Structure 1
Amino acid sequence: MDRPVHSVRARLDDFLAELATLHYRHGAGLSTDLPVSALHASFPEVSDPDTFSAATEALEKARAKNDVLAVRRLQLLRELVAGQVEEALAARDVEAVAKLEAQARLPVDDQTLSFGEVLSQLPQETQRGRRALLERAVGNFLWGERGRYGARREAALRTAERLGARSYPLLRDDVSGIAHDKLVEAAEETLRRTEDAYRDVLGYVLRKLEPTLRPLPGGDARRHDLQAALQSPWMDSFFRREDLMPAVTRWLNEWNLPPAANGRIRIDDEPRSGKARRPFVAAVRVPSEVRLVIHLEGGMDRLGGLLHEFGHAQHLAHISETAPVELRRLGDASVTEAYAALTERLLLCPEWLKRYLHLPSTPARDTVRLAAFQALAVMRRHCAKLSYELSLTTRGASEERAEEYVAGQRRALFVEPHPGFFLFDVDPQLYSARYLRAWALETRLTARLMERFNEDFWRNPSASAWLKGLFSRGGTDDAEALSTEVSGAALSLPEAGARLVAILNG
């Protein structure tokens, strides 16, 4: 029974390198196709239920021997295989969706725009009437194609059946070690405790867009209004396109984290048709080949995205090259998302903004408050998404789920969403849970950095050296273990929300 495990282990690095390359080429605008079916055919053992059974058996043996390292490696391998069983079942639909989105042309006014153009223009559009047209165009398109998107989501239910689990959420509980029901409770508490502060600032930013605009229930704000407000366009003069990359580069160099990590991080910043608007990282080989794809644009939100993805890239580039393949290539995604959130949260540091972007004191304070609002809006959105996605992966992609999606997002964000997004605005494999846990862990990590290296830890090379030590471990620790190690306390999502509320109320 160990043979499938050995086979996956032997070819894991190559499989993940090819998978990352496919996603890199697709996201970088180098290919409109995403041929994942052929990849799964070339590495059939990675998505074979028999491999999952073999990993389960090997894990039980390792636990009986109290072999801690073997247990961790097998936990990570088993979770990977469960995920790839799902991805293989969904592969044809993923390819079809990628082709559909690449070829779609949507009517907007007297124009015809690509699917990607509509999505990228939507939050940037300053005229509310045109934003509504853009949202309606893409929302109606997604609703009309809900059968194709639904087929992708139905792969979760088929995965649970294929692997003998009673339900998909229970399967994810088992392979990830995350108690999703407990996290839903924490998310509900976070929504309750952050509601007043969020709604107050939402009213303020909506009025900045348009004086008569008001949130629900008394107003008529829609999701596209919130998307535009989160861009904080009235702050654009402080976040010029030509200033952002030099500011981040200077900071990383001064913090002894060179942007290219001595050649391990390859930055793709070439303008290219079809390139993703938001930056992303593709881990081709870890730690030696990490690709950071950037579409350079101005704005506070764009700076946050740039900082976030550099956090991912630096983490991957500093994982120990001698670690076992599972610890180099796999891990609790909450941990790497926490490192990315840690760098993104530099927008909450007025002194960082003054030093690297030369912001005066008043715009720096305004930026901190707006960045806290952005972070809280994203947190509340994912708090609502988690319970919805648990329902979706239990009950299937019926139109009733659209009603559930709309109700949850409306309650969390106080704006009206378009129901067509109910199968598009979904994180596969309950990844929303990883984000929520990441933000809780980031709160612990930041508190520890400030305690040990003072409030300006971001300019202290000793702080980056401490972080590199954590980075080097790769997938050794899950988020709970790391939280306990650095703070002596468990993860607490409500505390992460309370930190943002304190900034908003300060």
Structure 2
Amino acid sequence: MTKERAFLDEQVPRIQLLERKMREAYWLAATTGEKKHEEQYARLLQEWMAWFADKGHHGRLKELLEGTDGTDPLVRRQVELLYNESQAYQMKPEEVAERAQLETEIESDFVNFRADYRGKKLSENEIKEILRHERNTYKRKDAWKASKQIGAVVADKVRRLARLRNRAAQRLGYRDFYAMSLALNEIDEAFLFSLLEDLKQQTDSPFSELKKEMDKKVAEPYDNVRPEGLRPWHYVDPFFQEAPCVYEVEWDSHFAGRQLEELAKQTFAGMGLEVESILDRSDLYEREGKSQHAFCIDIDREGDTRILCNLRPDTYWMGTLLHELGHAVYDQEHDPVLPYLLRRPAHISTTEAIAMLMGRLVKEPEWLKQVAGVPEEKLVEMEEALVKQSRLDMMVFVRWCLVMIYFERDLYRDPDQDLDSRWWEWVERFQFIPRPETRRAPDWAAKIHLGTAPVYYQNYLLGELMASQILHRLRQTFPDSPHPLVNNPAAGTYLKEHMFRPGNRRPWVVLIEEATGEKLDPRYFLEQFVVEDKEEKSTEKKG
């Protein structure tokens, strides 16, 4: 037995046990909001961090990594992943304890927070209902402000966390925690921001035109509000990360009174993917004390995959359910023969790609017809609006991602700067939404990711690019299918073989190239959602 394998055989079972207990505690904390489960999770998180922070483990991993050139590639990959994780937690014992405590506190703050709206305590779903239907501008403004109240609760904790994370990263020679996180997650920072600048330039003009058209429609129901007078509270989503439905598509009516779980089962069964057991283990409906967000969690990498949602019979939650189940099937369908450390997605962005691919189905005509049962004549009426709305949705999301990614890099460059103003500078630059007059509040901190899922948002954007590239490959592979993911079991087989079963045996850039036949290329995303059809333009010119 090699020294590398001996180390893995000795240490991985301990890591595996810790991670299972930690995820079980996290699940209980998220589904109940009870303090005892939050405290248990915090203790386990600290113990888990302590293993990776241990100088002896870190030194041994570095030594093993330097001598693994001739060893089994799967063994080397495991050592490499453990070393990268260990690098991220090279902190003093007291720093480990503080980081675990702060992250748990922030998570708890979000789980238990209910916004104070005109004397009433409201959930996120209830706030969104107001922003979806209320036509009184003052009430909307109050609801939007209420959605940001959590920011003031956690802002100081997020700054403390950023300073703490930076100190550890800088001791290792990194510029800051942001730079370290990208590097250890196998993302080249120069490549990423070159890609972002390109996406910004490619979407600046199309987004500007779409937003002007959208703002005219958004302003219509309000007396004395012109499009240029719109403010953040006039949009449905408090962060404007999702576009309002402005193209007269009655999305929600197709899901009213429906069991979303049944539609989800039918969707995945059509791809030859089983989700019923996942749903049986999951927690799907909102209640007091439960986390208001949605997530997927793989408890043990041995089949216990679950999702948390707060379902309501509408388009948003239908898409979210499909999204989270996309994560879940990725986790569930890994190759069970792989070692524990490799039984996970190649990267956060690759599992996001599958989740995005599934979530998009809710606005695909073929899915609406075959799964949701929308009559074909209705779809013909909706076709043009569907295309426009999907394009608007994606453009809005891309511009929102730019806000988060650029702001978070700034957060770690200087956690003590005027972040309140910096946030709105990026919102104005990327989302074209003016800062509300006299607004001085930590609106940025109302986004949970900054505290509990740091340096994450680029994975959503990379995931969207990958999703379009994967879809392009599926269309090439199944040219006779109206949509390759709708009632096509061969598509599920393709995803299992090319995306799910490889697990994390190779870096994500290699996986994407092997799965799609080429390196990550944003042109498929741009062709799908940004660039207008060249043939159509040519026809217009001839006419």
TM-score scaled by length of structure 1: 0.87
* Aligned counterparts of 2:344 and 2:335: Cα–Cα separation in 1: 11
Query: Any idea what the Cα deviations from partners look like across 1:356-398, whole Å, max 9, x if unmatched?
Result: 11222123553343233222212221123222212212222x2
* Aligned counterparts of 1:104 and 1:486: Cα–Cα separation in 2: 42
Partner of 2:237: 227
Contact 1:244 1:303 in 2 (8 A): yes
Partner of 2:342: 327
Contact 2:148 2:446 in 1 (8 A): no
153 and 337 in structure 1: CA distance in 2 versus 1, 3 angstrom threshold = same
Partner of 2:421: 403
* Aligned counterparts of 1:108 and 1:88: Cα–Cα separation in 2: 35
* Aligned counterparts of 1:224 and 1:38: Cα–Cα separation in 2: 43
Residue of structure 2 aligned with 1:275, choices 287, 290, 297: 290
141 and 337 in structure 1: CA distance in 2 versus 1, 3 angstrom threshold = closer
Partner of 1:353: 368
Partner of 1:58: 64
Partner of 1:388: 407
For the pair 1:266 / 2:268, whether they are aligned, the reply is no
1:316, distance to aligned residue in structure 2 (A): 0.7
369 and 239 in structure 1: CA distance in 2 versus 1, 3 angstrom threshold = farther
1:154, distance to aligned residue in structure 2 (A): 2.5
**1:42-121 → structure 2 map (5 Å cutoff):** 42-43=47-48, 44-62=50-68, 64-65=69-70, 67-83=72-88, 89-101=98-110, 104=113, 106-109=115-118, 111-113=119-121
1:324, distance to aligned residue in structure 2 (A): 0.6
1:6, distance to aligned residue in structure 2 (A): 5.7
Contact 1:47 1:88 in 2 (8 A): no
Residue of structure 2 aligned with 1:490, choices 519, 523, 529: 519
* Secondary structure class of the residue paired with 1:227: coil
* Aligned counterparts of 1:321 and 1:492: Cα–Cα separation in 2: 31
State the superposition RMSD in angstroms: 3.3
Partner of 1:378: 397
The aligned amino acid for 2:38 is L
Residue of structure 2 aligned with 1:451, choices 472, 476, 483: 476
* Aligned counterparts of 1:296 and 1:112: Cα–Cα separation in 2: 22
Contact 1:153 1:393 in 2 (8 A): yes
Please list every run of 5 or more consecutive structure 1 residues that lacks an aligned counterpart in the other structure: none
Report how many residues are paired. 502
* Aligned counterparts of 1:342 and 1:277: Cα–Cα separation in 2: 23
Partner of 1:306: 321
**1:95-174 → structure 2 map (5 Å cutoff):** 95-101=104-110, 104=113, 106-109=115-118, 111-113=119-121, 123-124=131-132, 126-127=134-135, 128-140=137-149, 142-143=151-152, 145-174=154-183
Partner of 1:244: 260
Between 329-338 and 138-147, report the one with greater CA deviation. Answer: 138-147
* Secondary structure class of the residue paired with 1:181: helix
1:189, distance to aligned residue in structure 2 (A): 1.3
The aligned amino acid for 1:490 is K
Between 182-191 and 347-356, report the one with greater CA deviation. Answer: 347-356
For the pair 1:15 / 2:18, whether they are aligned, the reply is yes
* Aligned counterparts of 2:254 and 2:385: Cα–Cα separation in 1: 11
- Of structures 1 and 2, the larger Rg is shown by 2
* Aligned counterparts of 1:59 and 1:25: Cα–Cα separation in 2: 37
1:257, distance to aligned residue in structure 2 (A): 1.2
Partner of 2:539: none
Contact 2:255 2:315 in 1 (8 A): yes
**1:20-35 → structure 2 map (5 Å cutoff):** 20-29=23-32, 31=34, 34-35=38-39
1:244, distance to aligned residue in structure 2 (A): 3.1
Contact 1:353 1:364 in 2 (8 A): no
Contact 2:178 2:409 in 1 (8 A): yes
* Aligned counterparts of 2:309 and 2:244: Cα–Cα separation in 1: 18
1:464, distance to aligned residue in structure 2 (A): 0.9
Partner of 2:461: 436
Partner of 2:509: 480
381 and 258 in structure 1: CA distance in 2 versus 1, 3 angstrom threshold = same
Instruction: Among all aligned residue pairs of Structure 1 and Structure 2, give the percentage whose two residues are the same amino acid.
Output: 18
For the pair 1:461 / 2:489, whether they are aligned, the reply is yes
TM-score scaled by length of structure 2: 0.82
Query: Any idea what the Cα deviations from partners look like across 1:418-471, whole Å, max 9, x if unmatched?
Result: 752223434434112222222221121111111001342122111111111131
Contact 2:106 2:154 in 1 (8 A): no
